[in-house]
Amino acid sequence: MDPPEDNNNRSEIAFFDVETTVPKRGERFAILEFGSILVCPKKLTELRSYTTLVQPLDLSLISTLSVRCNGISRDDVVLAPLFSDIADTVYDILHGRIWAGHNILRFDCARIREAFAEIGRQPPEPKGAIDSLALLTQRFGRRAGDMKMATLATYFGLGKQTHRSLDDVRMNLEVLKYCATVLFLESSLPDVLVDKSVSPETTSLRRHLRASSSHEDNTVISSLRLPSIGENSVAQPDPFNMSFLRNEMVSDNNLQLDTLMEEEEENQPSDTIVSENTSDHEGYLAPEAISLQNIRAILVPFYHGSQLMRLKLLHGDSPLQLYCSCLQIRFGVNGKFLDNSGRRRLNFVVDLNPRLCSILEACDSNAQKVSVDSGSSSDWNTMVSPMKGFVNYPNARIHIPTEISGDAARYAIEVHQRESSGDAQKLIFSNPSAEELESLLNAGSVVDAFLSLEPYDYQQKAGVRLVAKKLVIHS
């Protein structure tokens, strides 16, 4: 690469991609390869390129699964430079330029920031970003399927994705060119010729863009903006406005899949309505009080003022929270996995009745649709799981949130006991330990559960978690 330039004159778009290890639970990602091309924004031609393998500090992080994903083995990187050796070059390529890539906001940007943090350096900052996954999902629609790079490449006959950094960024640029060409041609064709070959969603969006085009200026970068997901949903941020990246990508560094929502609760206002005396079920709805037609999913900011969005489940206009009585525990407390602080992540499995099944399935369906429409390509994990060999015994996993503050492994839940004589309850544990919960939540036990439904999308896995806020154990 050439010597550093004046950041104010860095007009090239930096397309980049990182290949990483596939971490096990409790592990972080390690960058194995970095690849980038600088592209002229006026001609979309490649100006310069850079790629290198990267040796992780711990070669044992390169697992068999990791090799299957990108073909990069330990032997390939054993003589490669460490990230600290290439940090200056990566910084010079990225800093002060517009960043572009497929799914970079959810993945690649976070990995770059993690890598710089691990060597004690400030990361590069973009002056804008183009996430082609979100952009094409909104503009091009889902005519190409799940909108992953491999699917788009197959759709346009560009060959097979290699999952190598430089190959992937070049393929990304070609995919963008093809999509732009198709959209440009369609904008000039009568609707009757286009509507038969594209989805209704794409057609509707195309008409909207055509109708509004006269009100937009002709500057490509300033006029491009992610459309809102739906008529009533919250508008998505401008894909070129990355002023929020510095603060918000940091939160992705230390989160693991099963603890994402637990840690979020400690740092953000909670949607959960908790009464000092929840015996009246305040804020929680019994299954028979829930209308499936009133269940909906929307996008809301992660916190006040945030431009990153998260899913939220509602019943009507209120947060959906469940009061489920007489749940039978099929499998007791499982705590074999640890969070980043070494605390055990606890959950247990309960049997579901048909009514509760239909509610959870409706929640999954609504949340997954909004997730997909928002541009997520993550695999969706459903809440309801059929028991192997027991068709009529579906079940669900209930998570127990950990407390983030303090060193002791305590859990943010109240445990009450119902007297055998009637409805009277007595508090037996507040913020119990893992051992106390294990002694109470055994297979065959019956509990009443006050549950929040908390969507997540992390490490290409998405879904809704059932999180217990209060448990009432039957004597």
- Residues belonging to the active site: 163
User: How many alpha carbons lie under 13 Å from residue 274 in its C-beta half-sphere?
Assistant: 13
Give backbone dihedrals phi and psi of 270, rounded to 5 degrees, phi first. Answer: -90, 145
Residue 58 · residue 73 · CB < 8 Å: no
CB atoms inside a 10 Å sphere around CB 138: 22
Give the integer Cα–Cα distance in Å for 467 and 122: 36
- Tell me the sheet residues that pair with 396: 350
Give the integer Cα–Cα distance in Å for 358 and 364: 10
Q: β-strand 461-474 against 379-381: which pairing, if any?
A: parallel
The tokens for 43 are 């001609």
Residue 130 · residue 46 · CB < 8 Å: no
* Nearest partner of 132 among 170, 75, 185, judged by Cα: 170
| 386 Cβ neighbours under 8 A, 6+ residues apart | 393, 394, 395
10 Å CB burial of residue 351 (0-12, 13-18, 19+) is middle
Q: Which amino acid is at 122?
A: Q
| Helical residues (DSSP H) of 249-396, grouped into ranges | 260-267, 354-373
Q: Please, what's the b/e burial string for 309-330 (b: 16 or more CB within 10 A of its CB; e: otherwise)?
A: bbbbbbbeeeebbbbbeebebb
10 Å CB burial of residue 295 (0-12, 13-18, 19+) is buried
Give the integer Cα–Cα distance in Å for 415 and 401: 13
Give the integer Cα–Cα distance in Å for 309 and 325: 33
Give the integer Cα–Cα distance in Å for 269 and 451: 17
What DSSP string describes 326-353?
Answer: EEEEEEEEEEEEE-TTSPEEEEEEEE--
